[in-house]
């Protein structure tokens, strides 16, 4: 359905996207994962015909996005990073305008507008000006706009950015519901999102594809080494050394490296275990027998940086000191209040 | 055509959804009214004098309406940047340009749509001034043909300003920058024939040919000269062409 072949995009001397190739099959949801500035948006803009690639070619639904832009665009719905709303139009007017320029026949227009408003749950704001909508509604109107001409291909640039947790879940459900009829490419920098929505993941960093796989395979590849967060009530001076001496523990570091919002207490550690070894039991035992008082013991959130480190330093993970993955892809906020 | 009209309609609606259209129309008709009143009183005094001297009645078309048209050309020059400055820059700033450029419509359709939208507002502006002209028809009997020629001239001249303004607006994300630049360009196109006053005949001829307002003189007098019509139409086409190039190059640069 979508085929990207050796796409390169240069801005002046800067290479935003470097020789990216991938395929998306009909009805599939492909996750595009990468940190900010990795080239996700640029790739999506090339796919939607917003800008031509410097090199390489891309086809959407069999049409080259550069040589047959009109045909390709008729079959593509695109939600850019910021929903492209006109602040002084009402939601209904806006969707009607988009339907017009996307070529929805005039007798079906009213019906389509109504249908997408219901599907994206913005019908209650139909006569509100777009400029006065909350972030969540804007994002959904943006999604409605992408769906209005019932395109075969949907390209969504961070569809859940700026939504509250309830809306994120709703939006993911909506996207999953769209798969099958539509082929979807969505970008995100939130890993759990990919795991929950996508069938296949392309990880991109600094303009290059670093990994393409299913979320399960990816998780399996990344599982193994795990980092635990340990908070002691009163650890002795030798606490770090004693923890490091536990069999299976590969590294112990004070947990203040990450500049977390509340400065961590002095007796907090990041304990990294070797691949495939669960050290939690031993760790807890040791702490309790020493009488340090175990206040908290939890798996560290797997951040995208960790994934990247993991993916890009696959060959020598130990030397690179790559923090591992939590055994589950539980979305756990780093800002979560500490118990 | 459907797409062009969709864009034009959207443009026109956005002018009237914000206070911009009303401010511009109000401001323009106020200034137009001022000149109309000044020239009318002047004309009345003149014709009274001519009557007393026993001469024929003064020609209202030549002695009054022409002056009003010439002055309104200058007002339009000042007002027009306000219409065109936001056309592209606002779309770029707010990101809606991404919607337009990823829709199955061509750049040409977007540009012509935007041009027609702005022309629509401009036509509304001119339409309001027709009320003043109606007063003349109620209390006097001016000839309508020269007036129609004058309005045609104003439309064409405005079209040039709009196409140049579209181009400038397509260069920047910043409305204010677009507005100021547009204004500077218009001023230059206006004052360029002043340069001609003190230079050689050849330079003078070239410079006069370039001046947008100089081409309007004949229209104000009620003469439709194809020479000027072609000048205006080619100016408009050139402006739209430059806009198309600017939008396209923006695409490549990203």
Give the pLDDT confidence of A86-128 residue by residue, as tens digits: 999 999 999 999 999 999 998 999 999 999 999 888 999 999 9
Residue B2's region, left for phi above 0, alpha for psi from -120 to 50, else beta, is alpha
Nearest CA distance, B19 vs chain A (angstrom): 11
Q: Tell me the C-alpha distance between A251 and A270, whole Å.
A: 8
Pairing of strands A268-273, A227-232: antiparallel
Q: Tell me the C-alpha distance between A289 and A300, whole Å.
A: 24
Q: Tell me the C-alpha distance between B212 and B232, whole Å.
A: 8
- Quick one: pLDDT band at residue B19, thresholds 50, 70, 90? confident
Longest Cα pair distance anywhere in chain A, in angstroms?
Answer: 77
Burial degree of B62 (CB within 10 A; 0-12, 13-18, 19+): middle
What ipTM was estimated for this complex?
0.87
Tokens 């940047």 correspond to B81
Question: Which of B3, B102, B110 to mutate to test binding with chain A, by most A CBs within 10 Å of its CB?
Answer: B102
Give the pLDDT confidence of A281-337 residue by residue, as tens digits: 888 888 888 888 888 887 765 554 566 566 655 443 333 333 444 333 334 444 444
> What are the angstrom distances between the C-alpha of A138 and each of A8, A84, B182?
32, 9, 33
Pairing of strands A76-79, A153-157: parallel
Nearest CA distance, A52 vs chain B (angstrom): 6
Specify the pLDDT at position A275. 67
Task: For residue A207, count other CB atoms closer than 10 A to its CB.
Answer: 23
All domains in chain A, ordered by first residue: 2-220 (3.40.50.300), 223-320 (3.30.70.100)
Which of A161-175, A248-262, B158-172 is predicted with the least confidence, judged by mean pLDDT? A248-262
Give the pLDDT confidence of B83-141 residue by residue, as tens digits: 999 889 999 999 999 999 999 999 999 999 999 999 999 999 999 999 988 988 888 88
Which of A137-141, A329-333, B26-30 is predicted with the least confidence, judged by mean pLDDT? A329-333
Nearest CA distance, B165 vs chain A (angstrom): 21
Specify the pLDDT at position B55. 67
Integer Rg of chain A from CA: 24
Specify the pLDDT at position A302. 55
Contact A50 B102 (CB under 8 A): yes
Evaluate whether B58 touches B105 at the Cβ level (below 8 Å).
no
Specify the pLDDT at position A262. 55
- Using an 8 Å CB-CB cutoff, list chain B residues near A86: 10, 14, 94, 96
- Quick one: pLDDT band at residue A74, thresholds 50, 70, 90? very high
Contact A88 B17 (CB under 8 A): yes
Contact B254 A11 (CB under 8 A): yes
- Phi, psi (rounded to 5 degrees) for A173: -60, -45
Specify the pLDDT at position B124. 93
Per DSSP, the three-state class of A76 is strand
Which of A156-170, A212-226, B96-110 is predicted with the least confidence, judged by mean pLDDT? A212-226
Of B18, B100, B251, the CB nearest to A52: B251
- Using an 8 Å CB-CB cutoff, list chain A residues near B90: none
Question: Which of A100, A127, A138, A145 to mutate to test binding with chain B, by most B CBs within 10 Å of its CB?
Answer: A100
Specify the pLDDT at position A309. 61
Q: Tell me the C-alpha distance between B251 and A188, whole Å.
A: 24
Contact A88 B96 (CB under 8 A): no
């Amino acid at each position: 359905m979508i085929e990207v072949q050796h796409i390169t995009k240069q801005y002046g001397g800067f290479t935003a996207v470097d020789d990216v190739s991938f395929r998306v099959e009909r009805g599939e949801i492909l996750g595009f994962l990468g940190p900010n500035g990795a080239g996700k948006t640029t790739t999506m803009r090339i796919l939607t015909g917003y800008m031509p690639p410097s090199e390489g070619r891309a086809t959407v639904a069999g049409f080259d996005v550069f040589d047959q832009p009109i045909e390709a665009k008729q079959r593509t719905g695109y939600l850019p990073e910021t929903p492209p709303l006109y602040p002084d139009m009402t939601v209904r007017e806006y969707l009607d305008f988009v339907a017009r320029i996307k070529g929805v026949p005039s007798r079906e227009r009213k019906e389509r507008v109504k249908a997408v408003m219901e599907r994206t749950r913005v019908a209650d704001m139909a006569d509100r000006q777009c400029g006065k909508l909350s972030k969540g509604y804007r994002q959904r109107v943006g999604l409605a706009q992408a769906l209005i001409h019932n395109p075969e291909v949907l390209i969504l640039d961070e569809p859940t950015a700026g939504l509250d947790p309830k809306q994120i879940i709703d939006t993911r459900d909506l996207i999953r519901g769209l798969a099958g009829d539509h082929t979807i490419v969505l970008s995100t920098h939130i890993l759990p999102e990919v795991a929950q929505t996508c069938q296949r993941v392309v990880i991109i960093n600094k303009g290059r594809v670093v990994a393409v796989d299913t979320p399960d395979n990816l998780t399996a590849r990344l599982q193994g080494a795990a980092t635990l967060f340990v908070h002691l009530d009163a650890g002795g001076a030798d606490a770090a050394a004693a923890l490091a001496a536990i069999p299976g523990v590969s590294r112990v570091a004070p947990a203040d490296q990450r500049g977390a919002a509340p400065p961590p207490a002095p007796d907090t550690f990041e304990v990294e275990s070797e691949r495939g070894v669960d050290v939690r039991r031993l760790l807890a035992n040791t702490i309790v027998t020493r009488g340090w008082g175990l206040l908290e013991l939890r798996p560290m959130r797997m951040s995208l940086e960790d994934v990247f480190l993991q993916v890009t330093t696959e060959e020598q993970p130990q030397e690179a000191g790559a923090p591992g993955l939590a055994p589950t892809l539980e979305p756990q906020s780093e800002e979560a209040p500490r118990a | 055509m459907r797409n062009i009209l969709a864009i034009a309609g959207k443009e026109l609606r956005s002018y009237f959804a914000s206070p911009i259209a009303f401010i511009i129309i109000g401001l323009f008709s106020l200034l137009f009214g001022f000149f109309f009143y000044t020239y009318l009183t002047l004309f009345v005094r003149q014709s009274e004098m001519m009557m007393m001297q026993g001469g024929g009645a003064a020609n209202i078309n030549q002695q009054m309406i022409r002056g009003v048209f010439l002055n309104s050309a200058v007002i339009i020059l000042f007002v027009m940047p306000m219409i065109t400055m936001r056309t592209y820059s606002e779309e770029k700033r707010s990101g809606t340009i991404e919607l337009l450029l990823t829709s199955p419509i061509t750049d040409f359709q977007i540009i012509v749509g935007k041009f027609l939208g702005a022309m629509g507002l401009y036509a509304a502006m001119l339409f309001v001034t027709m009320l003043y002209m109606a007063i003349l028809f109620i209390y006097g009997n001016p000839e309508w043909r020269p007036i129609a020629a004058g309005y045609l001239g104003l439309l064409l001249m405005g079209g040039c300003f709009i196409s140049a303004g579209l181009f400038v607006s397509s260069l920047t994300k910043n409305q204010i920058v677009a507005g100021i630049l547009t204004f500077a360009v218009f001023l230059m196109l206006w004052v360029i024939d002043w340069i001609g006053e003190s230079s050689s005949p050849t330079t003078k001829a070239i410079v006069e040919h370039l001046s947008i307002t100089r081409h309007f003189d004949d229209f104000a007098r009620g003469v439709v000269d194809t020479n000027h019509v072609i000048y205006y139409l080619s100016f408009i086409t050139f402006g739209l062409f430059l806009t198309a190039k600017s939008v396209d190059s923006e695409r490549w640069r990203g």
